[in-house]
Amino acid sequence: MTPNKPKTPIRRAPPRPLGRRVRREQRTIAAMFDVFCHDHHGGVDRAPGAKLCDHCTTLLRYAHQRLENCPFGEAKRVCNECATHCYSETRRAQVREVMRYAGPRMMRRFPFLALMHLWDKRRGG
């Protein structure tokens, strides 16, 4: 018996290593979802051990993917100041709602990330 080996491996562009800037933004947005989901969907729809509800998990995954594919990479601006509309219309409205709610609450719950985000903004980056 030979092991089941596909003749041609599936070719996929190797993922670009994510820079610090992008990873930090991913952490920030995950924290924002944390705040939003906790206050809006607390306890509902949760898979055991999952921090976010299904809806927020899907949306967060989408936002992370957009970040990973951001054409600006490490030189990116903060997302809400970016002129490139890489989100679909629906997703953008949903994510904006999360940010609008969580943004002002970040300083209290995640002061470090909030400060770093302000710093990224000030750099114009």
Q: Nearer Cβ to Zn ion, position 22 or 31?
A: 31
Out of 23, 41, 46, 91, which residue is the one contacting Zn ion (CB under 5 A)? 41
Alpha-carbon separation of residue 1 from 5, 22, 85 (angstroms): 11, 46, 52
Q: How far is the CB of 84 from Zn ion (least distance, A)?
A: 26
Q: Residue 29, interface with Zn ion (CB under 5 A)?
A: no
| Contact of 59 with 91, CB cutoff 8 Å | yes
Q: Residue 56, interface with Zn ion (CB under 5 A)?
A: yes
CA–CA gap between residue 44 and residue 27 (Å, rounded): 23
**By rule CB under 5 A, what string of x and - marks binding of each residue 65-94 to Zn ion?**
------------------------------
| Contact of 55 with 108, CB cutoff 8 Å | no
Interface residues with Zn ion (CB under 5 A) are 37, 41, 53, 56
